[in-house]
Structure 1
Amino acid sequence: MVNIYDDLNKLEATFRKTEQFTALEFTIEEVKKDADAVALFSNFRKMQLTLQEKQASGEELSEEELQYAQKTAQLAQQNEKINAMLLAEMEVSAVINEITSVIIKPVQALYDSIPDAE
Structure 2
Amino acid sequence: MVNIFDNINAAAKDLEETPQYKNLAEALKAVHENEAANEVFNRFQETQRVVNEAMQTGQEPEEAQIQEWQEIAKEIEQYDEINKLMETEQALNQLLMQINNTLTKPIAVLYEEN
TM-score after normalising by structure 2: 0.93
Structure 1 runs (4+) deviating above 4 angstroms are: none
Q: CA RMSD in A?
A: 1.1
How far apart are the structure 2 equivalents of 1:77 and 1:93?
20
How far apart are the structure 1 equivalents of 2:85 and 2:77?
10
How far apart are the structure 1 equivalents of 2:47 and 2:67?
11
TM-score after normalising by structure 1: 0.90
- After superposition, where does 1:64-79 map in structure 2 within 5 Å? 64-79=64-79
Specify the SS of the correspondent of 1:78. coil
Match of 2:113 in 1: 113
How far apart are the structure 2 equivalents of 1:41 and 1:56?
22
Deviation (angstroms), 1:99: 0.3
The one-letter code of the counterpart of 2:42 is S
Match of 1:33 in 2: 33
Deviation (angstroms), 1:65: 2.3
The unaligned stretches of length 5 or more in structure 1 are none
The alignment covers a number of residue pairs equal to: 114
The unaligned stretches of length 5 or more in structure 2 are none
Structure 1 position 4 matched with structure 2 position 4: yes
Match of 2:51 in 1: 51
Q: Once the two structures are aligned, what percentage of the paired residues are identical?
A: 26
How far apart are the structure 1 equivalents of 2:8 and 2:60?
39
